[in-house]
Amino acid sequence: MNAPPIIQTRSLAKTYLIGDVRVAALEDVTLAVAEGRFMAVTGASGSGKSTLLNLLGGLDTPSAGTIEVDGALVSAMNREALARYRRFGAGMIFQSFNLVPARTALENVELPLVFSNVDKKERKRRAAELLEKVGLAHRANHRPSQLSGGEQQRVAVARALANGPRLLLADEPTGNLDSRTSREIVGLLAELNRGRRLTVVMVSHEESLVREYAHDVVRLRDGRIVGTESRA
Amino acid sequence: MRFTDAVEFALASLRKRRLRTLLTASGVMIGIGALVSMISFGKGMQKNVTEAFKASDLFTTLMVMPGGADVPSRDPARPRRPAETAGRAGAVLDDAAVDEISQIPGVRTAYPDVSFPALIALEGEEEFRLVQVVPAAVAASNAVRVGWGRAYASDDEEGVVVSRSLARRLGTDEPAAAVGKTLRITSVSIDLGELASLDLAGLFSGKGLPVAREVYDFPIVGVTEITAFGGGPSPVQNDVIIPPGTARRIKRLPITSIWDLFRLRDGRLGYSAASVKLGSLRDLEPVKSRVSEMGFTTFALADQFDEITKAFYFMDMILAAVGMIAIVVAALGIVNTMVMSILERFREIGVMKAVGAGDGDIRRIFFFESGTIGLLGGAAGCVLGWAVSLVINRVVNFYMARQGMPDIDYFAFPFWIFLGAVGFSLLVSLVSGIYPARRAARVDPVIALRHD
């Protein structure tokens, strides 16, 4: 851990108001992720893993504390700046893939490029290249419903990388996949992490995969960090 | 996000929900169609009336009335228009005065408005009508539209012109057949011989007035067309017109109503009005001031035309207001469709935001969607409005033809109606899109992505 941290959170907290009751989803989370690392966040369901990832991905805003990514103070960004951050700063993948059902694999990968004003020809070229990288060039014109779970998640990975972010956030990416496919997907993330110096933060509760691929592991319970482990 | 991409996104999502897009656009189509046909009807009416006015030479006609006469006015609070020159009381509009007016530069002809009641008979059918005395020069002008036969050639020709509707009422359906037939005019006059021996007691005890009937036969030389809207307020309005020289030989009462007797001055009975034909509209003001210097009241329809135009604006507004009801309903339809669309695409909006779509991008996509619905509906509405007007026009003309009325275009379609309709439709759809677009932009991606 001698590289400078690309992610630095300080006393991060998120509380939700459910009815009249304040529920703390995340409390006092101070965390650093060095560039080029593969970090896993584990914990029981309801421990605040997804909340943490949504905050890191700029989808949600913290109730207290700060998030700094690559020198930029994400926690202080307005809506428009957050949109730009999601576009260029951090790619996200999800347990339920979240592809647009009406669009083909290629068009799904193109989507982030549409919002970054890349022209159509260049968009197609880059999207095709990314699909090839995740091994799906032959499925480019299929719709999500015609793809297997593993294939859909590969499309999602390609989409997350479309604008060339330095950070990839994965929210239980294997939750809807069988164990063999899960291994393939996490293997793909590890490969991208090695090959492109892409920093990966993955939420997962599959201990075997976490042990096998992650450099750092952060354990959460009831919204607090209860343990961190690192291997070199 | 680029403009072309936003258009593509909007079209793709409209295509995906084809039926709903079609139904929503149909709502807009009906609204715009109603508006287009309403406005084109207003414009058609205005065009017809304006053209009728122009064709009947009304703009170059000046009405002259004796001093102190009431000038017709649209304003009941001011029966007399102060802007018009009300003549001084005492000026008598007699032959000498009419003659003098006709000498004013710019005046083509001046003739008194003379008409008298008579019993008109054609091959046994008879009716009471006013017979109007019209000089040959006027009868040959646009003020009288002779459709069959001809106008009488001189002021002394023994011949009359009748209207087509009179010919029809008197049993001659084919107007051409009426030309050449003999019209019998029976006039009434006071029997002067009997008047001398009459005592008042006798007059009021029911003996009746000492009237004499005179019978004259004239050939019908021409039949006038029935013009749309009665040809506008034409100076020649009666069903039988006769040249002045010929009329002079008819023995008749010099009055058409008792009111004429009140105008007796110094024993002279002037005319109730005279019509002055001008060479052009430019002569109107100078002639008007000369005539009022002579002590007469003048009235020019050209002056009234501004008010008629104003009345048409008012009519347009009422018609547009009726059309607007359908537009408002259509706009609500767009809002409904777009809000439904947000609910259906809740997750998709979340995904777009997660991969970097800004609020502006989402707004733009929804805005373009409702705009496209507006454009589609607007264009279709123009076609619908035009088609409906065409059908109505056909049907109305079919029934009017049975009444002997000529074909008229009741609807007018200047190109700006279509441009305006499409533009307005686009505007309405964009306004309808404001709320849904803002709402879509406000979707919280965390909630949207959790949503199933």
Measured between CA atoms, the residue of chain A closest to residue B12 is A102
Query: Given this model, what pLDDT does residue B112 score?
Result: 83
Distance from C-alpha of B341 to C-alpha of B29, rounded to nearest angstrom: 20
With bands split at pLDDT 50, 70 and 90, how would you rate the model's confidence at B127? confident
Residues 6+ apart with CB under 8 A from B412: B40, B43, B44, B46, B47
Alpha helices in B270-358 (DSSP H): 284-293, 301-344, 346-354
CB contact under 8 A, A83 and B1: no
Strands B240-242 and B125-133: parallel
A230: amino acid identity, one letter? S
Query: Given this model, what pLDDT does residue B23 score?
Result: 94
CA distance A81 to chain B (A): 9
Residues 6+ apart with CB under 8 A from A89: A58, A69, A70, A72, A74, A165, A166, A167
CATH code linked to domain A5-100+148-230? 3.40.50.300
Q: What are the tens digits of pLDDT across the range B361-393?
A: 999 999 999 999 999 999 999 999 999 999 999
The first and second tokens of residue B261, run together, are 């007797």
User: How much is the pTM?
Assistant: 0.70
Distance from C-alpha of B409 to C-alpha of B399, rounded to nearest angstrom: 14
B356 touches chain A (CB under 8 A): yes
Distance from C-alpha of B49 to C-alpha of B26, rounded to nearest angstrom: 34
Residue B129's DSSP bridge partners are: B118
* Dihedral sign for Cα atoms in the order B378, B381, B382, B385: negative
Alpha helices in B89-153 (DSSP H): 95-102, 136-139
A71 contacts A7 by C-beta, under 8 angstroms = no
Looking at residue A70, what DSSP letter applies?
Answer: T
With bands split at pLDDT 50, 70 and 90, how would you rate the model's confidence at B351? very high
Q: What are the tens digits of pLDDT across the range A171-220?
A: 999 988 999 999 999 999 999 999 878 999 999 988 899 999 999 999 99
Nearest to B354 among A79, A92, A117 (CB): A92
SS3 of chain B: helix, strand, coil, percent, to 5 = 55, 15, 30
- What would the mean pLDDT of B58-67 be, rounded to a whole number? 79
Q: For chains A and B, what is the number of CB pairs under 8 angstroms?
A: 70
With bands split at pLDDT 50, 70 and 90, how would you rate the model's confidence at B75? very low
A159 contacts A92 by C-beta, under 8 angstroms = no
Domain boundaries, chain B: 3-54+308-450, 114-261
| ipTM of model over 0.95 | no
Question: Does the pLDDT at position B328 exceed 50?
Answer: yes
The first and second tokens of residue A109, run together, are 């990968």
Question: Does the pLDDT at position B247 exceed 70?
Answer: yes
Query: Given this model, what pLDDT does residue B258 score?
Result: 64
Residues of chain A contacting residue B14, judged by C-beta atoms under 8 Å apart: none
CB contact under 8 A, B355 and A86: yes
Interface test with A, best of B9, B355, B447 (most A CBs within 10 A): B355
CB contact under 8 A, B446 and A88: no
CB contact under 8 A, B358 and A79: yes
Place of tokens 């287009």: B36
Distance from C-alpha of A27 to C-alpha of A52, rounded to nearest angstrom: 10
* In chain B, residues 394-433 whose CB comes closer than 8 Å to chain A: none
Measured between CA atoms, the residue of chain B closest to residue A53 is B446
Q: In angstroms, what CA-CA distances link B99 with B103, B138, B242, B385?
A: 7, 16, 19, 54
The first and second tokens of residue A124, run together, are 């197609």
With bands split at pLDDT 50, 70 and 90, how would you rate the model's confidence at B230? very low
Q: What are the tens digits of pLDDT across the range A74-105?
A: 999 999 999 999 999 999 999 999 999 999 99
What backbone phi and psi angles, to 5 degrees, belong to B40? Answer: -70, -30
With bands split at pLDDT 50, 70 and 90, how would you rate the model's confidence at B157? confident
Interface test with B, best of A98, A118, A121 (most B CBs within 10 A): A98
- Cα radius of gyration (chain B): 33
Residues of chain A contacting residue B16, judged by C-beta atoms under 8 Å apart: 102
Question: Does the pLDDT at position B72 exceed 80?
Answer: no
Question: Does the pLDDT at position B353 exceed 70?
Answer: yes
Distance from C-alpha of B71 to C-alpha of A166, rounded to nearest angstrom: 89
* Dihedral sign for Cα atoms in the order A142, A143, A148, A150: positive
B348 touches chain A (CB under 8 A): yes
Measured between CA atoms, the residue of chain A closest to residue B358 is A83
Q: What are the tens digits of pLDDT across the range B403-418?
A: 777 788 888 888 889 9
B2 contacts B348 by C-beta, under 8 angstroms = no
Query: Given this model, what pLDDT does residue B262 score?
Result: 64
With bands split at pLDDT 50, 70 and 90, how would you rate the model's confidence at B196? low
> Greater confidence, B140 or A142?
A142
Which positions in chain A have a beta carbon within 8 angstroms of at least one beta carbon in chain B? 54, 57, 59-60, 79-80, 83-84, 86-88, 92, 94, 98-100, 102, 111-112, 114-117, 119-120, 159-160, 162-163
Question: Does the pLDDT at position B452 exceed 70?
Answer: no
With bands split at pLDDT 50, 70 and 90, how would you rate the model's confidence at B295? confident
> Greater confidence, A34 or B138?
A34
Question: Does the pLDDT at position B84 exceed 60?
Answer: no
With bands split at pLDDT 50, 70 and 90, how would you rate the model's confidence at A157? very high
B440 touches chain A (CB under 8 A): no
Question: Does the pLDDT at position B62 exceed 90?
Answer: no
CB contact under 8 A, A98 and B16: no
